[in-house]
Amino acid sequence: MTELLKKLVLTSGVSGREDKIREVIKAEAEKYADEIIIDPMGNLIAHKRGKGKKIMFASHMDEIGYFVTFIDEKGLIRVGNVGGINTLSASYSEVVSERGVCGVALPSDSNEVPKVDALCIDIGARSKKQAEKRVSIGDYFVHAPHIKRLYGNIYTGRPLDNRIGCLVLLEALKNVKPTDNDLYFVFTVQEEVGLRGAKPVAYRIEPDIGIAIDVTSAGGKPTSPKTKVKIGGGVAIKIKDASVICSYEIVEKMRELCLDSNIKYQDEILLKGGTDTGAIQTAKMGCLVGALSIPTAYIHSTNEMIDISDVKEAIKLTCAIAERI
């Protein structure tokens, strides 16, 4: 499982340019799905056919990053953000482009923590002409991907948001037991820029139940929000966030499944941020929705942190939902 996680993390795919990570996911998913569909937006649907309830699981495969907007006379790369950038973490960190060009993200005008539009990237070029040989307008950069085991079950790296959700979905697709339910394991695009991929794919599938798998902010760390969700506390069952109020019957059923199957869980309310759940809930005529989350520290920084034991509990719950909800 950790080898697959490494493969997912080390493959880049900023919002709108998910082709590389989609190919990695496709190669894994097609081993276990009855059908693979890639829709016009780029969402990947792995379908396990059944005659029962339509259950759609969604995990976004895109990540935050930058698009090149301008190259100045000194060869510095000016960029615009894709998704929510933590500029404190971004400053003086290593970045890499889709072409493999490495650089350093840095404040362009001062030593203070910059706004996103004041970030630039230094690739070592000494002139605009040199830079243009390696970078073009519209290229994307991401913070250098990496993953490392720190101690015990604790891993740090990026982009764990949301490659860790993709891992959960792939492992569930692999391990789910035969069921009458009609199962759709969906890897969505452009979540980080407004939940854009999830709505059309939910419109297409028309699920009876929609479940998103994503990260959520964990408490107990120096920069953490005030929340009871803790790393190592088990899979988090979402009650609400800024984008959705989950269907309470689904929340209750997920709790029951955890108790029946000895799955370690914790309740989650996220005051800021959202997931694909919000888009799924309101697509077409709507559906019942829930979400399960991986407690994660330092989200959208260059070093996110998880406990792999929480991931294992999330896989168990995803399988239980697919088989028994």
DSSP, collapsed to helix, strand or coil, labels residue 321 as helix
Both structure tokens of 315: 């896989």
Q: Distance between CA 275 and CA 241 in Å, rounded?
A: 8
What's the one-letter identity of residue 23?
Answer: E
Q: How many Cβ atoms sit within 10 Å of the Cβ of residue 232?
A: 17
DSSP, collapsed to helix, strand or coil, labels residue 238 as strand
Q: Distance between CA 181 and CA 40 in Å, rounded?
A: 26
Strands (E) located in 100-151: 102-107, 119-122, 140-143, 146-151
The reply to whether 191 belongs to the active site is yes
Bridge-partner residues for 120, per DSSP? 78, 106
Residue of 63, 98, 191, 313 marked active site: 191
Q: How many helices (H) and strands (E) does the chain have?
A: 9, 17
Helices (H), the chain: 2-9, 19-29, 87-90, 128-132, 160-175, 198-205, 248-261, 276-281, 308-324
Measuring CA to CA, how many Å separate 133 from each of 118, 124, 130, 236, 299? 23, 12, 6, 47, 34
Pairing outcome for strands 304-307 and 182-188? unpaired
Handedness of CA 192, 299, 158, 96 (dihedral sign): positive
Q: Distance between CA 294 and CA 297 in Å, rounded?
A: 10
Q: Catalytic amino acids?
A: 191
